[in-house]
Amino acid sequence: MNSVTEICVPVNDVNDDSVLVTELLAEDMSPVEAGADIVCIETSKATLNLSTPAAGFVHFLVEAGQEVPNGTVLALVAQDTADFAAYQARPAAAAQKTTPPPVMPPAAEASQELRLTKAAAGLLSSKGISAAELGLSGLVRVEDVLAKLQQETPVAAPPENRDAAPVKGMPQRTLSKSKKSEIAFLRDANAGALVSQVSVLVPTNGLFKKAANDLRLAKQFSARIIFEVSRLLQKYPELQSVYDDGGLYQYPETHIGYALCIDKGLKVPVFHHCARMSLDEIIQAKDAFIEKYVSNALSPEDLAGGAFTISDLSSTGCWLFNPLLNYRQSAILGIGGENPRGDAYPLVLAFDHRVTDGMTAAAFLNDLKDRLCSHERLLLPDSLPEAGCAAAQETSKIEAAEAEKELPVCSKCYRDIDELTGMEHYLVQTIDRSGDVQLVCTICMEGW
């Protein structure tokens, strides 16, 4: 019995009561090496490959396409195939002990204190019924609620030959678990919120068209958007807050999600603590996320904890769109592509009016517009917008008067002293741990 190793569903997120088995990566009863991936599962946040810690023969207890509760034994690995028969013949009590379901600690369980997972609480709320009315106690999961509801309300058999499709004869496509969860989270996030939008146009001289043929330019500018948004959220903290049950709660750290949708569906990796990150660190982190996305290696930790989201559709040719609030967030920034003339692109901020207002949202966007104009000037010094951007106009005058003068700049955001002065900010000398002297602007210092 000790030679049998169980491969179980990991319990890593209270929002998920179950996972979808998407693929079996080995043949049943075939030999596998230690560390080999043997089963692929899908949670609401990521697709994960589970590996075996020991070599031997693998025997699957589930099938591809099956949805199973957390803690389920998916497969067994044994040194000898005869061990599988002994495992399956063991007493029921031993089986229960070997693969315990995720439960509360003994003290809490003994007291039968009611504890609801988020999914179970949401289901009860949607049905307008309490756990007590269903006779539930202890740790209550969504499958417990569903089981009780089925007992209370028997489901009538559908009429014979009934076509469930909206239009008769339409074939049904299978929704992935991640898409179902996305639908549920977006519905919950936007159903109760008072969603409003503001937008501004950022003047440009064809930045995105040039970036389409210059990978370095594209990487630099997208990273600078994340960099500047992270700094501005220190000035507008209500945009990284959330309204819940009559109260307003602010996230203590700046964690920005950046939506990726290339060829493996929508994923939103999160740049954690990005207000503390340098521009180079953000570029490196974004490259790492894209590599993980392409190789299907984004972990639940990579996708969790976002306080604000950026949805950048500038490379798709889409100009204006309506970004949707994400779960437990109050704002999302949408970045559209250039207009047909190639002289402007939109920034769209969708926000929860329970948390902030249109004037604050507009101020945030105008601040961001000026900063992005400054970054375009740095990236494309010979291509400056003629009008519409206060920071760009001011720095144009400075450059004309002092073309040969090298001005001191911030080591974090690369704004020079004249641009900062025009924005009523200044440079401060700092000393890092190695003893080197650096100049940091007061804008970046606000993000520390």
User: Binning pLDDT at 50, 70 and 90, where does residue 2 land?
Assistant: low
Residues 208 and 283 in one domain: yes
Residues 245 and 352 in one domain: yes
Dihedral (C-alpha) 251, 255, 256, 259: value to the nearest 10 degrees?
Answer: -110
Residue range(s) defining the domain that contains residue 202: 193-390
Residue-level pLDDT at 163 = 52
- Cα(279)–Cα(247) distance, integer angstroms: 34
182 is a domain residue:
no
Residues 43 and 79 in one domain: yes
Helix boundaries (H) for 322-415:
358-379, 390-401
Residues 89 and 128 in one domain: no
CB of 289 within 8 A of CB of 318?
Answer: no
Say yes or no to pLDDT of 363 above 50: yes
**Average predicted confidence (pLDDT) for the chain:** 79
CATH of the domain at 55: 2.40.50.100
141 is a domain residue:
yes
% of residues, the chain, pLDDT over 70: 79
Residue-level pLDDT at 98 = 43
- Cα(284)–Cα(278) distance, integer angstroms: 10
User: Binning pLDDT at 50, 70 and 90, where does residue 369 land?
Assistant: very high
Residues 207 and 336 in one domain: yes
Residues 386 and 420 in one domain: no
Residues 256 and 319 in one domain: yes
Give the count of domains, the chain: 4
CB of 365 within 8 A of CB of 347?
Answer: yes
Residues 68 and 135 in one domain: no
User: Binning pLDDT at 50, 70 and 90, where does residue 447 land?
Assistant: low
Burial class of residue 190 (count of CB atoms within 10 Å of its CB; 0-12, 13-18, 19+)? middle
Residue 313 tokens, joined: 């559709």
Residue-level pLDDT at 122 = 67
Mean pLDDT of 127-154: 71
Residues 285 and 352 in one domain: yes
CATH of the domain at 259: 3.30.559.10
Residue closest to 83 by CA, chosen among 123, 105, 54: 54
Q: Give the DSSP H/E element, type plus range, for residue 228.
A: helix 215-235
Enter the DSSP assignment of 208: H
Residue-level pLDDT at 111 = 40
128 is a domain residue:
yes
Say yes or no to pLDDT of 107 above 70: no
Residues 72 and 110 in one domain: no
163 is a domain residue:
no
Residues 385 and 406 in one domain: no
335 is a domain residue:
yes
In this predicted model, what pLDDT tens digit does every residue of 373-395 receive, in sequence order?
888 888 876 654 444 555 555 54
% of residues, the chain, pLDDT over 90: 27
Q: Which residues of 60-92 are buried (b: 16+ CB within 10 A; e: fewer)?
A: bbbeeeeebbbebbbbbbbeeeebbeebeeeee
Give the number of other CB atoms < 10 A from CB of residue 335.
24
336 is a domain residue:
yes
Residue closest to 353 by CA, chosen among 208, 196, 183: 196
Residues 69 and 207 in one domain: no
322 is a domain residue:
yes
CB of 13 within 8 A of CB of 44?
Answer: yes
179 is a domain residue:
no
- Starting at the earlier edge strand, list the strands of the sheet with 256-258: 195-203, 344-352, 331-335, 308-312, 256-258, 270-271
Among 161-165, 351-355, 416-420, name the one with the lowest average pLDDT.
Answer: 161-165
- Cα(300)–Cα(15) distance, integer angstroms: 12
